[in-house]
Amino acid sequence: MMNEAMQKALNEQVNAEFYSSYFYLGMESYFQSLSLNGFASWMRSQVQEEMFHGMKIYDYIHERGGKAMLGAIDRPEQEWDSPLACFEQVLAHEKKVTDLINNLMDVAIGNRDHATKAFLDWFVSEQVEEEATVGTVVDKLRLIGDNSSALFLLDAELAKRVFTLPVN
């Protein structure tokens, strides 16, 4: 069984992951309202991915003999000045999530909880991928500027993303 501090920190992360799912759902709605269906589809995949992350931690808490405790989820923002502004917020959010995961890792290491450290290694790698992927979209949106043709090409590219459950 994990110690109380680790359980509390993991429960906070479950809530953060569920908030992230809700956060991306608000962005999906924004892109739907602009008829940028590829951007919306990308966000829907992100919604599913964040829910998967939350459930992965939720299940882990129970596997270790703990109790998952759910907290309130704040209402996410749902309007932005542009697709670029929206994705810049995504990048800032993913950097915040990286900090949260790093803090969890610090708690696991500080408590000599090797099982949780091993479990969190997957999330550390996942965050590297998240920041890189979103950073690429931000870079492309900056290059696009006001070019609507290029925006529609990026929309078509983003539509190709499909969420698939990770193997582990």
Q: Between the CA of residue 70 and those of 13, 15, 17, what are the distances in Å? A: 10, 6, 11
Name the burial class of residue 4, with classes exposed (0-12), middle (13-18) and buried (19+) by CB atoms within 10 angstroms of its CB.
exposed
Closest by CA to 80, choosing from 34, 37, 41, 44, is 34
The verdict on whether residue 48 carries a ligand-binding annotation is: no
Would you say 59 and 119 are in contact if contact means Cβ atoms under 8 Å apart? no
Would you say 136 and 91 are in contact if contact means Cβ atoms under 8 Å apart? no
The verdict on whether residue 50 carries a ligand-binding annotation is: yes
Would you say 41 and 35 are in contact if contact means Cβ atoms under 8 Å apart? no
The verdict on whether residue 94 carries a ligand-binding annotation is: yes
In the annotated binding site, the residues are 17, 50, 53, 94, 127
Instruction: Mark the binding-site residues for Fe cation, compressed into ranges.
Output: 17, 50, 53, 94, 127
